[in-house]
């Protein structure tokens, strides 16, 4: 549900719809629901999300996503990799550019991400090999560092994340 303002400036429910997670052939079981995304947050607002933006917000922008990560597994056998990569880029523009092909899962974004684990468990791996395990209710602030999310457990992990676009100095 998203609130906003009508023409008279009164509070309204601008949108009350379900947003289904988007799944990709590249990572079966992974689902991403992008609930909100804008590069210029303002109030009052109609509550309408900004369309056609890159997956990660620009400096000053914000996003709100719910991500489900499946238990760790390699890409499915026989996958058409070029088609799967094209599908991922079309669904989440710019997401693949931050991923490191020679270190699966490792990536760095110009964002500060505020998140909470909703269900399951996940391991946050940093570039020096340090790891932290988070479970349901665990919160994190991912501060533009190189990292990967790993799920070496039997059950998937679902997290809600609010990435804020930042300028890297």
pLDDT at 46: 66
Largest Cα span, the chain: 56
pLDDT at 40: 87
| CATH code for position 9 | 2.60.120.10
Please tell me whether residue 169 adopts helix, strand or coil conformation: coil
Range 19-27, long-range pairs (CB < 8 A, 24+ positions): 21/66, 21/68, 22/91, 22/92, 24/84, 24/87, 24/88, 24/91, 25/76, 25/79, 25/80, 25/83, 25/84, 25/87, 26/75, 26/79, 26/81, 26/84, 26/85, 26/87, 26/88, 27/70, 27/75
Which pLDDT tens digit goes with each residue over 120-163? 999 999 999 999 999 999 999 999 999 999 999 999 999 999 99
Q: pTM for the whole thing? A: 0.91
Closest residue by Cα to residue 97 from 75, 23, 88: 88
Domain total for the chain?
Answer: 1
Which pLDDT tens digit goes with each residue over 6-55? 888 899 898 888 888 999 888 899 999 998 888 988 887 766 667 778 99
- Rounded CA gap, 94 and 145, in Å? 17
* Residue corresponding to tokens 């009508």: 6
Positive or negative: CA dihedral 54, 55, 57, 61: positive
Which pLDDT tens digit goes with each residue over 98-128? 999 899 899 999 999 999 999 999 999 999 9
Range of the domain at 31: 2-165
């Amino acid at each position: 549900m998203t609130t906003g303002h009508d023409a008279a400036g009164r509070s309204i429910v601008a949108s009350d719809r379900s947003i289904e997670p988007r799944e990709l052939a590249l990572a079966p079981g992974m689902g991403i629901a992008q609930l909100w995304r804008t590069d210029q947050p303002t109030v009052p607002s109609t509550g309408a999300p900004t369309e056609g933006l890159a997956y990660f917000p620009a400096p000053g922008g914000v996003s709100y996503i719910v991500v489900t990560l499946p238990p760790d597994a390699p890409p499915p056998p026989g996958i058409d990799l070029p088609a799967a990569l094209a599908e991922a880029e079309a669904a989440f523009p710019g997401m693949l550019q931050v991923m490191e092909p020679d270190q699966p899962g490792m990536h760095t974004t110009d964002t500060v991400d505020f998140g909470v684990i909703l269900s399951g468990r996940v391991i946050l791996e940093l570039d020096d090999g340090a790891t932290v395990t988070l479970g349901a209710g665990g919160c994190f602030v991912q501060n533009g560092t190189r990292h990967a999310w790993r799920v070496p457990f039997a059950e998937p992990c679902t997290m809600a994340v609010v990435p804020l676009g930042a300028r890297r100095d």
